[in-house]
């Protein structure tokens, strides 16, 4: 698969310091869903339920892949609950393989994971969710040791200043993004918190950034941070070349406006490559899409109106998945700006979330009551497309961009894919950063949903061209990239 640019003939993976890229990532611990074909009568019909332990109060949001399993957090806004791991090899017959229960979890809208190998001072499998101190109203990121998927264990809770519940939107910590070792936390009117999470057992708050936006979602691509709002009409982009000092980019905050230029309230957002995605709130629903390839000039691409009240939005191989409160919608966005609805899902309750999982989707409600009718499930599996996903992930964009220059010595590498990737397939080997002499640069690799990061362990050299090679990254079904993806960038002369 690899066509390496490395020049060292005897041992192309080694440097004088002894660092070499890994031959492979950590093995899968579960059998992923490889895909099956569904008949027309099976499409749109919920075929299975995901539920935690008997303590599950049926308040769910998203699910993510990790080492062949599905991770499902379950907790209401006010806290207490847990996470469960599932074998999804047959999505219509999921098997729960382990649970972690804690008083200190709260409703979780994003999950970060990282694998650190044996020999690392913090070796293990780690996860971060939203947390809340059971004895107070204080909130912050909750870190887990998930080295044993049958018994996930909480290891730390970092309470953030002025981040508290019961106000669901004004002060509470809403979502996280883990570009290891840096963790970014969206905390509503508090703004953004930056955490050094090198040691998940001892995370350290290193920076706070307040600005005129109620921060709801955080999404990192390399040296760029997208912040979506919680029930407001704007979003913002930041330069995080210095990861502890986010700098608002010119042109931000920018309005999440519709096709007529009218700013629209959005509930949450996401990022896929250079597409910023927003779920429009009450009165219209549906997605709003912006092109942020030039982060100083975000440009409207497309929107659509549908009677709904948007929740969360995800992207998978050209399709958008949007929770609309009383239903969920799937849109074909492969020929933007055209958008065509291709499927709809139903589940009793506040249906804010629909997560793509190949040709099935996971529908989740965070309240199981709807107009006085009480539902019986908080997450269900719904086949939405007949044919299985047999194609690997494709690169949509990178940061730094190919051929760009003038980058800060603390720059990280970001790769945006067109679907969720399997985090176990992202490691220093599937992502290769090479210096000006084509020698390997040691670093940490991490992935969250469709965004992949490579963080060098030491500052980059000034005035140097670096090359990045990406190959072998797989989607959550085990489908690999079809070819090596290669790009380069240069650091500034002054570092």
Whether residue 73 contacts residue 129, with contact meaning beta carbons closer than 8 Å, is answered with yes
Cα distance between residue 284 and residue 329, in whole Å = 13
pLDDT at position 308:
78
- What pLDDT digit, counting tens, does each position of 295-309 carry? 999 999 999 977 678
Domains of the chain with bracketed CATH: 395-491 (2.60.40.1220)
Residues of the chain with pLDDT under 50: 1-16
On whether the CB atoms of residues 62 and 353 are closer than 8 A, the answer is: yes
**pLDDT value at position 19?**
84
The DSSP bridge partners found for residue 127 are 113, 144
Measured at the CA of 184, the angle between CA 179 and CA 189, to 5 degrees, comes to 160
User: Exposed, middle or buried, 247 (CB in 10 Å: 0-12/13-18/19+)?
Assistant: exposed
Say which DSSP state 268 is in: E
CB atoms near residue 398 (< 10 Å): 22
In this prediction, residue 367 carries a pLDDT of 86
- Which tens digits make up the pLDDT trace of 83-142? 999 999 999 999 999 999 999 999 999 999 999 999 999 999 999 999 999 999 999 999
Contact residues for 165 (Cβ-Cβ < 8 A; gap 6+)? 77, 78, 79, 106, 132, 137, 139, 171, 172
Beta bridge partners of 374: 369
Q: What is the pLDDT of residue 495?
A: 65
CB environment 344-353: b (16+ within 10 A), e (fewer): ebebbbbbbb
Distance CA 341, CA 328 (A): 11
Residue 119 neighbours by CB under 8 Å, 6+ apart: none
335 DSSP 8-state letter: T
What letter does residue 482 receive in the DSSP assignment? S
Q: Where are the beta strands (DSSP E) in 358-484?
A: 360-365, 369-370, 373-374, 379-383, 395-399, 404-407, 413-417, 431-434, 443-448, 451-456, 465-470
């Amino acid at each position: 698969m690899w066509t390496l640019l490395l020049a060292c003939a005897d041992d192309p993976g080694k440097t004088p310091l002894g660092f070499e890229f890994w031959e492979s990532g950590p093995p899968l611990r579960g059998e992923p869903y490889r895909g099956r074909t569904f008949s027309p009568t099976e499409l749109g019909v919920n075929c299975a339920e995901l539920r935690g332990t008997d303590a599950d109060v049926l308040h769910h949001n998203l699910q993510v892949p990790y080492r062949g399993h599905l991770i499902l957090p379950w907790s209401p806004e006010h806290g207490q609950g847990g996470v469960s791991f599932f074998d999804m090899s047959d999505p219509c017959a999921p098997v729960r393989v382990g649970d972690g229960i804690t008083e200190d979890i709260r409703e979780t809208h994003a999950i970060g994971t990282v694998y650190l190998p044996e020999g690392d001072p913090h070796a293990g499998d780690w996860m971060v969710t939203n947390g809340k101190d059971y004895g107070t109203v204080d909130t912050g990121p909750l870190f887990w040791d998930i080295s044993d998927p049958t018994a996930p264990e909480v290891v730390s809770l970092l309470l953030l200043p002025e981040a508290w519940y019961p106000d669901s939107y004004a002060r509470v910590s809403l979502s996280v993004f883990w570009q290891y070792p840096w963790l970014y936390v969206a905390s509503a009117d508090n703004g953004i918190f930056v955490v050094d999470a090198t040691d998940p057992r001892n995370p350290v708050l290193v920076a706070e950034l307040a600005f005129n936006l109620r921060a709801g979602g955080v999404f990192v691509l390399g040296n760029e941070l997208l912040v979506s709002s919680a029930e407001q009409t704007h979003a913002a982009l930041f330069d995080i070349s210095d990861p502890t000092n986010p700098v608002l980019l010119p042109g931000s905050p920018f309005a999440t406006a519709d096709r007529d230029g009218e700013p629209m309230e959005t509930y949450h957002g996401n990022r896929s490559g250079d597409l910023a995605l927003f779920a429009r709130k009450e009165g219209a629903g549906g997605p709003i899409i912006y092109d942020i390839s030039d982060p100083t000039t975000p440009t409207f691409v497309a929107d659509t109106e549908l009677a709904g009240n948007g929740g969360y939005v995800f992207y998978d191989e050209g399709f958008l998945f949007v929770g609309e409160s009383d239903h969920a919608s799937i849109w074909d966005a492969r020929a933007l700006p055209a958008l065509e609805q291709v499927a709809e899902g139903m589940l009793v309750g506040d249906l804010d979330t629909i997560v793509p999982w190949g040709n099935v989707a996971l529908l989740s409600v965070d309240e199981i009551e709807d107009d006085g009718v009480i539902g019986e499930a908080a997450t269900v599996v719904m086949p939405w497309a007949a044919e299985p996903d047999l194609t690997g992930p494709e690169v949509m964009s990178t940061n730094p961009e190919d051929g760009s220059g003038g980058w800060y010595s603390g720059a990280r590498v970001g790769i945006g894919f067109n679907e969720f990737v399997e985090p176990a397939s992202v490691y220093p080997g599937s992502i290769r950063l090479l210096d000006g002499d084509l020698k390997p640069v040691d670093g940490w690799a991490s992935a969250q949903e469709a965004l992949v990061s490579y963080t060098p362990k030491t500052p980059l050299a000034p005035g140097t061209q670096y090359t990045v090679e990406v190959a072998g990254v797989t989607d959550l079904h085990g489908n690999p990239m079809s070819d090596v993806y290669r790009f380069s960038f240069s650091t500034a002369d002054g570092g």
